[in-house]
Structure 1
Amino acid sequence: MDLRQMHKKAKEMDSFITIRFKRATAKRFQEFSKTHFKSHTEAMATMLDFFFCNEISPREKLGPTGRTIEAKLLKRINAVIAIMRDMEKTQTKPTVAMMESLFQAEEPKRKPLILEKKFTEERKEVRFQEKRNTSNEP
């Protein structure tokens, strides 16, 4: 029997029946039903349909809740952020600094070789002059 047949059969039988529940359980159900549905019948029918359609038992655990999944995701995101910061600090910034220093390097000042002499500067200076004899002038 599929859901349509079940609903059709339920509509045909519009009469009510009494089911006995413990008071605390009945109160919980009434509060839940008022919050999410128009009637208690609609609430119960929807819950039963959910379990039948999904072929699960109400006693089964469906896995982690949204809060636990969110907490795990936040932990993983924080771990990824820490890894990225560490990579930036230890790899990216030093590499960028080295690359910048390579591209912005000035030409090194050319130091003369030890054997090389600067003749131009030495020739400008007169080191020796011929001495003139001023005493015996003709």
Structure 2
Amino acid sequence: MDIFIGIRFKKETAKRFQEFSKTHFKSHTEAMATMLDFFFYNEISPKEKLGPTGRTIEASLKKRINAVIAIMRDMEKSQTKPTVAMLQSLFEETEPKKKPLILEKKVLEEKQEVRFQEKQNNKNEF
């Protein structure tokens, strides 16, 4: 069986510790041992400030993410979409209109003139 020892704390501090211990640990001894181990292994003092809290870090990250999203939307509107549209228009498969050469145009006009006509047979002649 373990031996217990009494330590004197102020009443307010003892109540805070008991509430904390009840919510996170099975016993007060386990709570105190875990807290002491935390400070020992991480080589920090409980009087040191660890820097910004999780909430302040989250808020600053949200601001940065929103700024990045705004930059990406602007890039998409001003750069990406117009570039894609130009590339698509370049690679669309459309048949080019055949423009006759100047020389071919004269030959076509000459061919349109009819030199010979077929003789039409009248049925009444027979």
Runs of 4+ in structure 1 deviating by more than 4 angstroms, as ranges, are: none
- Aligned residue for 2:96? 107
Question: Structure 2 length as normaliser, TM-score?
Answer: 0.69
Q: RMSD of aligned C-alpha atoms? A: 2.8
Q: What is the CA distance between 1:30 and its match in structure 2?
A: 0.7
Matched, 1:91 2:95: no
AA aligned to 2:48 is E
SS at match of 2:64: helix
Change (3 A) 1:99 1:83: same
Q: What is the CA distance between 1:106 and its match in structure 2?
A: 4.6
- CA deviations on 1:89-134 (whole Å, 9 max, x unpaired) are 1111111111111222552463765x98635436628xxxxxxxxx
Out of 18, 21, 30, which is 2:18 matched to?
30
Q: Which has the higher contact order (CA 8 A, sep 6+)?
A: 1
AA aligned to 2:64 is R
Where do 5+ consecutive residues of structure 1 fail to align? 1-10, 126-138
Question: Structure 1 length as normaliser, TM-score?
Answer: 0.64
Where do 5+ consecutive residues of structure 2 fail to align? 115-126
SS at match of 1:118: helix
Change (3 A) 1:111 1:68: farther
Whole-angstrom distance in 1 between the partners of 2:28 and 2:108: 111
Change (3 A) 1:106 1:78: farther
Whole-angstrom distance in 1 between the partners of 2:105 and 2:26: 106
Change (3 A) 1:120 1:44: closer
Whole-angstrom distance in 1 between the partners of 2:81 and 2:74: 10
Equivalent pairs: percent with the same residue?
75
Whole-angstrom distance in 2 between the partners of 1:109 and 1:80: 49
- Aligned residue for 1:51? 39
